[in-house]
Amino acid sequence: MAITHSTPPGIEPRNPVRDDSKLAPTEDLDRMPDGAPHNVIGMTAFFAVVFAMLVGFMLLAGSTFTRVAAVVLVLIASPIVIGQLRKKAERERDHVHPSR
Residue-wise DSSP of the chain: ------PPTT---------GGGS-TT--TTS-TTSS-HHHHHHHHHHHHHHHHHHHHHHHH--HHHHHHHHHHHHHHHHHHHHHHHHHHHHHS-SSS---
Q: Tell me, yes or no, whether 69 lies in a domain.
A: yes
The model's confidence at residue 21, banded by pLDDT at 50, 70 and 90, is: confident
| pLDDT number for residue 86 | 85
Query: What is the pLDDT of the chain when averaged over all its residues?
Result: 78
The model's confidence at residue 93, banded by pLDDT at 50, 70 and 90, is: confident
Q: Tell me, yes or no, whether 99 lies in a domain.
A: no
Count up the domains in the chain and report the number.
1
Q: Tell me, yes or no, whether 34 lies in a domain.
A: no
Which pTM value belongs to this model?
A: 0.56
Q: Tell me, yes or no, whether 44 lies in a domain.
A: no
Q: Tell me, yes or no, whether 82 lies in a domain.
A: yes
- Report the percentage of the chain scoring pLDDT > 70: 66
The model's confidence at residue 81, banded by pLDDT at 50, 70 and 90, is: confident
Q: Tell me, yes or no, whether 26 lies in a domain.
A: no
